[in-house]
Structure 1
């Protein structure tokens, strides 16, 4: 049986067929396809902060991209450019912390990496153009910034990325303080692009969007770790 990988989802108005601006739980299909191509079975997780029992049915977790994390969660007032979705923060932080308690394999993408840092007691830069003086990490609406990252020798992400350090970014915030997590990847301007927890089986956050290219290196590593976690049959679940 394929390992079951939960993917946290957006809640946004969407339009299809005869339906216009219908409030919907969704993620870009790239996430689902990246999990499928890596050998996993994707399941979408709409925001729900009542409990984390769904983790009993999962073998791995993807914290997907999306809106900014509430600055109050890391002790700051909001920047004018900060856009939040508090219900996602509450639900995903609960899932994240419970997943860490279970040592469930976990991949954080963009917002997901930032959420990992905040959950660990770290903090974020709320608007990178104010810090860097450029917008190379988010060149324009729907346009990814392509960069060549550098990775810490011996790190998990360095082993996974191999000889191709190209990353596709779309973010205006970044990790300022990773807390106890280890920064293992950087953009050319020094912005953290990867964080890891080397004390856990598989906890990796990347600031870029590997799902866009259906990157089997990262999603394959998550699915491989989740496969080791997956035991029993459907009836056992």
Structure 2
């Protein structure tokens, strides 16, 4: 078959989880699915198709049906996880639990990991990954570090330096050197008052700050399952993590049988 006769590969479909928040537009002030545009813009700019996944009632059947339609998954930022999920009482500064979103994202992530669906976690998404795999969180970093530099407040993102582990999937996406003893240093936008404490099963720390805050992890043995505590969608001129996810999702899509092939078999 010539190149001109080769079947067209459609763009991969990337699911992004959303917030459920009280939202006001025009005369309406109602609970609504919400996600900042920078998230799905990053996906589409990298060649993916963005599909939003609002919190909703969850079952094994529903999760399977959703994941069957996706080539990649992003668990986005947002409110704190319920501390009961990792065996703690809530800190005074911890957000009121959102059990609907916690259950929805945990179920989607668990199913995605089981089927090796390419996954990227962002901020809360990194925490969902860690807790789903049995880890825990620092509920309020100022208590641990004595500084609020990771969450300035008022929607203002801070910039912190992170050291990226050489030879990691993350380093490869960032074009960091694969060998040597010196990690790459990268400045990233952050807005979080919680962070990973006890590491979940199978996870490897791939980026951290000079005061020990874990800023990136990846699941060992997975084709593409990584998460960052920072907000890569805010670095609009540096979409390498999104590009890596879209590329992995395209590979995943091409590797599974096409519905017409299944029908013909």
Give TM-score, length-normalised by structure 2: 0.85
Aligned to 2:252, which of 229, 232, 235? 229
Aligned to 1:204, which of 200, 204, 226? 226
SS for the counterpart of 1:114 is: helix
Q: Please state if 1:136 is matched with 2:142.
A: no
Give the superposition deviation at 1:229: 1.0
**Please, which runs of 5 or more residues in structure 2 have no aligned partner?**
1-9, 177-183
SS for the counterpart of 2:142 is: helix
Give TM-score, length-normalised by structure 1: 0.95
Larger Rg: 2
Distance (Å, rounded) in 2 between the aligned partners of 1:14 and 1:151: 37
Aligned to 2:208, which of 183, 186, 189? 186
1:71-220 equivalent positions in 2, closer than 5 A: 71-83=83-95, 84-161=97-174, 162=176, 165-180=186-201, 181-214=203-236, 215-220=238-243
- Structure number with greater CO (CA < 8 Å, separation at least 6) is 1
Q: Where do 4+ consecutive residues of structure 1 move more than 4 Å?
A: 232-237
Deviations 1:191-236 (A, max 9, x none): 0000001200000010000011233210000000000011366878
The structure-2 alpha-carbon separation of the partners of 1:189 and 1:2, relative to structure 1 and needing over 3 Å to count, comes to same
Kindly report the root-mean-square deviation, in angstroms, between the aligned alpha carbons of the 2 structures.
1.6
Q: Please state if 1:67 is matched with 2:67.
A: no
Question: In the alignment, is the contact (CA less than 8 A) between 2:162 and 2:185 conserved in 1?
Answer: no
Aligned to 1:2, which of 4, 11, 18? 11
Q: Please state if 1:32 is matched with 2:40.
A: yes
